[in-house]
Amino acid sequence: MTEAQTANTSSEETPMDLEAKQKRKKLLKIFALIVIAAAILYAIWTLIFGNTVETDNAYVGAETAEITSMVSGQVAEVKVSDTQQVKKGDILAVIDNSDAKIALAQAQAELAKARRQYSQSSANSSSLSSQILVSADDINSAKAQVAQAEVAYTQTQQEFARRQQLSATGAISKEEFSKAQSALNNAKASVDVAKAALAQAESKRKAAQSNLDANEALIKGTSQDSTPDVQVAQAKVEQALLDLERTEIKAPLDGVVARRSIQVGQRIAPGTSLMKIVPVSALYVDANFKESQLQNVKVGQKATLTSDLYGKKVKYHGTVIGFSGGTGSAFALIPAQNATGNWIKVVQRLPVRIKLDPKELAEHPLRVGLSMTAEVDTSSAK
């Protein structure tokens, strides 16, 4: 090919090359615009939506109150039914109080008896003190009788000694000597009797003193209301009053009655489960987030929730208040056994508890077990 031919060929291909170059430039510009738009969209998504985690595996829960009986008896009346709204202090059921009234009367009688025994013990102290004083007079009288008997015995001894000397000389008869001997023996016996009377009087005084000490030990330093026997009886009366009061079973909080299981005429024992009270104004949500979502979730962060009951038009606002101590599978009745040869990794979920706003619950009530969708803003309360 000559130089002229080459020049002609080059001049023929130039417009096509220019057109192709222009197309390539346009495509590159469009691609660049697409990349820039994607980067912008990614940045916007990261700024707006990248600080949130969401799950639809969430359910409404509540700390329900288990209503049980504190006393035994027959159910006389049931005042509520399932789904009924109750207030704190409302009477839920009434147990026949006949036995409780009898027990109260017995306790009150025991209290009156204990008070009377205290009064009697106080009176006994006064009586025993008087006995001690009388015993002291008896002792003084017995001592005087002993002294008198001893004087008489001494005189009789002297008289007997003279009679004995006279009898040795034959100056008196044997009959007179025998009389002197008998008089001496009688005088000795009188001394013994007087001493025995003195010992008896002293024993009576000691017995009276011991009884006084024992009686004083029961009531010393106490009043009628503070003595142990009266306090025990008073405690029994208070227990009986409490048991009588407990025959009326009352609601411990505001809520809705659920799972009522008692009927009129049923005999119940202490601890029998009667019903549940669900506090619908103090509900929470357990949101089961994937473990890969929880890196930035903290206690105190704000959450937005929607319910399948009302749809997305009704939004609830809550606060993360805690994390469960383990995953759902960890607390299952039959935990998963992963130590096997055919193990497959499964992403676990951890329950995160979210407290709901009571005002929003009042406007749009929920019930335990309803499904929710929860979205936690991980940029809040860090």
Are 301 and 320 in contact by the 8 Å Cβ rule? The answer is yes
DSSP state of 301: -
Other beta carbons within 10 Å of 114: 19
4-47 per-position pLDDT tens digit = 454 444 445 566 667 777 777 777 888 888 888 887 776 665 55
Residue 305 lies in a domain: no
Judge residue 270's burial from the number of C-beta atoms within 10 Å of its C-beta, 0-12 exposed, 13-18 middle, 19 or more buried: exposed
DSSP state of 357: P
Residues 212, 179 share a domain: yes
Residues 266, 225 share a domain: no
Taking the C-alpha atoms of residue 162 and residue 156, their distance in angstroms, rounded to an integer, is 10
Residues 233, 115 share a domain: yes
Residue 371 lies in a domain: no
* Buried/exposed 215-236: b ≥16 CB within 10 Å, e otherwise: bbebbeeeeeeebebbeebbeb
Question: What average pLDDT does this structure show over 216-232?
Answer: 71
**Residue 84 φ/ψ, nearest 5 degrees:** -80, 135
Residues 177, 129 share a domain: yes
Residue 32 lies in a domain: no
Taking the C-alpha atoms of residue 121 and residue 219, their distance in angstroms, rounded to an integer, is 7
Query: What local confidence, expressed as pLDDT, does residue 360 receive?
Result: 93
Question: Could you tell me the CA-to-CA distances from 250 to 65, 73, 97, 237, 247 in Å, in that order?
Answer: 12, 16, 15, 22, 9
Residues 184, 111 share a domain: yes
Domain extent at residue 231: 100-241
Residues 171, 232 share a domain: yes
More confident residue, 99 or 20: 99
Global pTM value: 0.61
Written as six digits, the tokens of 114 are 């204990």
Query: How many domains is the chain partitioned into structurally?
Result: 2
Question: Could you tell me the CA-to-CA distances from 134 to 107, 140, 145 in Å, in that order?
Answer: 40, 10, 17
Residues 117, 220 share a domain: yes
Other beta carbons within 10 Å of 367: 15
| Mean predicted lDDT score pLDDT of the chain | 82
> CATH number of the domain that 135 lies in?
1.10.287.620
Residues 255, 237 share a domain: no
Residues 169, 71 share a domain: no
Written as six digits, the tokens of 261 are 């299981």
Residue 259 lies in a domain: yes
Q: Any idea of the CA torsion for 213, 218, 219, 221, to the nearest 10 degrees?
A: 90
Give the DSSP H or E segment for 284: strand 284-290
Taking the C-alpha atoms of residue 240 and residue 100, their distance in angstroms, rounded to an integer, is 7
pLDDT at 214 over 70: no
Residues 117, 187 share a domain: yes
Which range has the worst mean pLDDT, 66-75, 128-137, 152-161? 128-137
pLDDT at 223 over 70: no
> CATH number of the domain that 267 lies in?
2.40.50.100
Query: What local confidence, expressed as pLDDT, does residue 382 receive?
Result: 54
Specify the residue for token string 């060929």: 9
